[in-house]
Structure 1
Amino acid sequence: MRRLPLVLFSLPALLTLGVFVLYPFLDVIRFSTWEWSGLSEPKPVGLKNYRDLLLDPAFWGSLWVTLKFMLLALPLFVGLSLGLAVALEGAPYERFAKSLLFLPGLVTLGGATLSWYTLFTPEYGALAQFLPIPPWDREGFWALAMVVLFTLWRHLGYGVLVASARLKAIPKTLLEAAYVDGAGPWEALRYVVLPLMRPAVAFLVVVGTILSLQSYAAVFLLTRGGPYGATRVLGYYLYEAGFENFRLGYAAAVTVVILLLTLLFAYAQLRLLRYGEE
């Protein structure tokens, strides 16, 4: 009986989670067992969509592109978030700098991509008149690098705020004790600050993993998966399957796989980050 109030207070959150998360996910799983174009009558096909997915070279190519994107974006996202948070801590311009870093996340995605395209197009971009802009519209590596830079520009401010919030929670007495014991700034950062930043690092790794594996909007608006499929991440592959090829059942199977991969990577990274604490 003592737990009854806890259950009652949790009920609104559980209902919201069930209606807006669990039920749609179960519905997607149901759709993934259909052969369905969205206009025709759904035809149950069992696990055929998953079998076709595993035999599709385009899926494996998209998965490889997504992993490359994650390997480029995730270390930069976490490292820059921590580095900028430490560098800005206590600076007189700290709030102003953090506001500037967070500002790109408030700009609408369409306006942001249009601005980047106008500025960085190699042939006629505004900055191309003054700086050597790599041919990211023709070469795969530079196209992927452009998407990574755009993603970092959009989300780095959020990462800095998360790292900064954890940094400010570290008791100043610990740093003062380290300095009294003869530690320099680098030793205090390495042996005091960074170990205590582990929860923020774990959170940023999970957030960065989700952003990487579910990236789509920047690719759709900047490169459309090109050139030659070099930026066709899983999110864009899902869009092509569902809304260009009208294979909604197949696209639902891709959605399930993306979600499972996201959960798998996030769980594995959390286990690795918490291994030293056990």
Structure 2
Amino acid sequence: MTSDTVRAAPRLTPGTVPKIPPSRRRRLGDLPVAALFILPAAVGFAVFYLWPAVRGVYLSLTKYNVLTPPRFIGLDNYERLLGDHLFWNALKVTGEYVLINIGTQTVISMLLAVLLYRLTKSMLVRGIVLLPYLVANVVVALVWFWMLDFQLGVVNNVIEWLGFDRVAFFGSDWAIPTIAGINTWRHMGYTALLIFAGLQMIPPSVYEAAAIDGASEWRTFWRVTLPLLRPVMALVMVLSVIGSFQVFDTVAVTTGGGPINATRVIYFYIYDQAFNRFNFGYAAALSSVLFVLLAGIAYLQMRLSRAAESDLRGS
């Protein structure tokens, strides 16, 4: 290697400080500030999420009833889970609820979002649409429980006044669809605003090009709007599915899991095992299985919907 190809390093006299490039100095200066802002959230995540999750996995391998120390039993709780018909029934009931809730909520929310985008962008209207979501879920469930009561509910009084038979909305056949309808009513405004935000990100020039090509409104919706909403819809579907699997309070204040386990969803079954039967080890095993199940479903949704991709990229 010749001296022409080797660049000599600058000499430093004693007492001098090497100069740091401005970009590097700026990066080093931002790191402590960023860490300071992230620290509270990181501590909260570690204390309230990470540590309970790790301890829950450990408890799932033990026999634990709070009154005595945990006793390690290996995979016995998971073996018991495989033969537990109540667990599989709870999983089936939860799946039925998720399908009804996601189907109705997605369709109604999409309709609301399109109406908001096409007809009005008033903040007052958006607030009214979001209002049910701001009410506590227990309050919503109790109000609908009273309104749909078989004997005194105003809904059944109107049905009888119209000449039809009263409906046992919280009976075995109607219980899950009714609970799904209640939660759809509460969450559809929030979901609609998420979709509405996605609609605002679509450039108007795309619709102008579709109109020039002679595309109808219906064809434009299916060929232009829905494909461009794919990243937003992927987020909405993941959040909706995970939230639907976590349904608990509506069931707890209305049916209590009945009649005859017709509404005993998986979250309510975990609660029953932990706080009514004091089988905390078995409840932890149920929770661990549910976590793996939800993680797998979310991963499949993100992969199948290609959530990281956007047709607007590069436009």
What is the TM-score of this pair, normalised by structure 1?
A: 0.91
1:234 pairs with 262, 266, 273, which one? 266
Whether 2:77 is the aligned partner of 1:45: answer no
CA distance 1:166–1:256, shift in 2 (3 Å): same
Aligned residues: 277
In the alignment, structure 2 segments of 5+ residues that lack a partner are 1-22, 311-315
Whether 2:87 is the aligned partner of 1:59: answer yes
Aligned to 2:240: 208
Deviation at 1:97, TM superposition (A): 4.0
CA distance 1:5–1:45, shift in 2 (3 Å): farther
> Residues 133 and 189 of structure 2 are in contact (CA less than 8 Å); yes or no, is this contact kept in structure 1?
yes
Whether 2:275 is the aligned partner of 1:255: answer no
Whether 2:69 is the aligned partner of 1:36: answer no
Deviation at 1:106, TM superposition (A): 1.3
Q: More deviation in 28-37 or 86-95?
A: 86-95
CA deviation profile, 1:152-207 (whole Å, cap 9, x unmatched): 11111110010000001111111112112222212221211111110111011101
Q: Distance in 1 between matches of 2:157 and 2:43?
A: 56
Aligned to 2:153: 125
Q: Distance in 1 between matches of 2:116 and 2:156?
A: 31
SS at 1:226 equivalent: coil
SS at 1:89 equivalent: helix
1:137 pairs with 156, 165, 170, which one? 170
> Residues 64 and 279 of structure 2 are in contact (CA less than 8 Å); yes or no, is this contact kept in structure 1?
yes
CA distance 1:98–1:192, shift in 2 (3 Å): same
1:73-84 alignment runs, 5 A limit: 73-84=101-112
CA deviation profile, 1:83-132 (whole Å, cap 9, x unmatched): 22112213147544432331111112232222111111112112221125
Q: Distance in 1 between matches of 2:59 and 2:102?
A: 32
Q: More deviation in 123-132 or 188-197?
A: 123-132
SS at 1:141 equivalent: coil
Aligned to 1:72: 100
Q: Equivalent pairs: percent with the same residue?
A: 34
1:176 pairs with 191, 196, 208, which one? 208
> Residues 138 and 249 of structure 2 are in contact (CA less than 8 Å); yes or no, is this contact kept in structure 1?
no
Aligned to 2:251: 219
Q: Distance in 1 between matches of 2:126 and 2:262?
A: 33
SS at 1:90 equivalent: helix
Q: Distance in 2 between matches of 1:141 and 1:94?
A: 40
Structure richer in helix, relative to its length: 1
> Residues 214 and 258 of structure 1 are in contact (CA less than 8 Å); yes or no, is this contact kept in structure 2?
no
Kindly provide the amino acid, as one letter, of the partner of residue 255 in structure 1: S
> Residues 97 and 176 of structure 2 are in contact (CA less than 8 Å); yes or no, is this contact kept in structure 1?
yes
Q: Distance in 2 between matches of 1:258 and 1:78?
A: 23
In the alignment, structure 1 segments of 5+ residues that lack a partner are none
Q: More deviation in 200-209 or 81-90?
A: 81-90
Q: Aligned Cα RMSD in Å?
A: 2.3
Q: Distance in 1 between matches of 2:28 and 2:293?
A: 36
SS at 1:130 equivalent: helix
Deviation at 1:244, TM superposition (A): 1.1
Greater Cα radius of gyration, structure 1 or 2 = 2
Whether 2:192 is the aligned partner of 1:164: answer no
